[in-house]
Amino acid sequence: MKMHQVSDHCFAVINEKNRVCDANSGLINCGGGVVIDTQSDLAHARQMIEMFGKVWPAMPQRVINTHEDADHVWGNQLFKGAEIIAHRSVPERMKQVAEPKESQKLLHGVGRFLTRLVLKTLHPGLEAAGEQLLEDYNFDGIELVLPTTLFDTRYELNLEGKEVHLIYVGPCHQVGDTIIHLLEERVVFAGDVLFRQCTPMGWTGSYEKWFQCLDLLIELDPEVIVPGHGPLCGIEGAMEMKAYLQYVRDESRKCFDAGITSLEAAKKIEFGPYGEWRAPARLYMNVERAYREFRNEPPDAPWDSAATFDAIYQVAKAKGIEAEF
């Protein structure tokens, strides 16, 4: 984890491993201090707070959650008394997708020899994902702390004359997707609308909506984009991710028309240049999303997470690479 200054008043904490749960956070160090996303567990959140403390000594008065996923909200409880701002959908969605109990159970299970063996037989992908998470994370003690200030389409903050625009862009990767734009500083905190040098994982939303959002990122013409996952970039990051999603959707269409399953399609589709990204076998999720659209299924059709991690694992094995999530 490293802190970078990205403009006069904007900072980013970047998780360099860039695997699942390695989310980034942001800080705006004026007007009471604003933190953007709060990390995946309490130890990482504390480390992030300590780093930001070097450039903003008081506890920030505001937190923004870019969306409802666990890796962006599980440090919320450490910001006692802060105003927590998010899209209106986020509190209810957090209860659905970010309840820590299942993840705590998974890591405890993987940590014990016998339960690990059982899990490995039943769900090899979920077990492998659990082992990977156990290398860096401990979900004990996490309590859901929900956003307190909710908005629908736009929300504006004025920090000592500096305008901060929260723009709702969901659902493209998740229901609550919000980007944060600082016009004068030419910075956008993109949340998980942008994954950089790692394969995107989209849960709820459509390809069209995601393309629109990436186009908006490019139109805003920031100098720096802080992605939800991966290193800092400019608008080339948004362009590259759009090209990836277009490539996956096109290849998926061919496979869908040929009548093969989404899992077989993910095994068949070449990674191409995107094989250099972290966790390339997460491709499966993007293929499955495309298939859901081809079948006219609703964008909020739920995911079976054990089956999803198992499918990613199988794709990695079929490609002869180590399973990474």
Binding site for Zn ion (CB under 5 A): 23, 69, 71, 192, 228
Task: Find where tokens 């940590």 sit.
Answer: 111
Minimum separation from the CB atom of position 107 to Zn ion (A)? 18
Tell me the closest approach of the beta carbon of residue 201 to Zn ion, in angstroms. Answer: 7
Is residue 107 within 8 Å of 130, Cβ to Cβ? yes
**CA dist list (Å): 295 to 238, 253, 267, 281, 303:** 27, 11, 20, 22, 15
Task: Give whichever of 69 and 324 is closer to Zn ion, judged by the CB atom.
Answer: 69
What's the min distance (Å) between Cβ of 325 and Zn ion? 12
Comparing CB distances to Zn ion, the nearer of 139 and 256 is 139
Tell me how far, at minimum, the Cβ of 39 lies from Zn ion, in Å: 10
Query: What is the rounded CA–CA span in Å between residue 218 and residue 112?
Result: 47
Cβ neighbours around 135 below 10 Å, total: 8
- Of the two residues 71 and 127, which places its CB atom closer to Zn ion in the complex? 71
Could you tell me the two tokens for 246? 């277009």
Cβ 30 to Zn ion shortest distance, Å:
26
Q: Closer CB to Zn ion, residue 193 or residue 265? A: 193
* Cα(40)–Cα(37) distance, integer angstroms: 9
**Residues of the chain by 3-state class (helix, strand, coil), percent to 5:** 45, 20, 35
Tally of CB atoms within 10 A around 77: 15
For residues 192 and 172, the answer to whether their CB atoms sit within 8 Å is no
182/193 with CB nearer Zn ion:
193
233 versus 263: smaller Cβ distance to Zn ion: 233
The least CB distance from residue 70 to Zn ion, in Å, is: 8
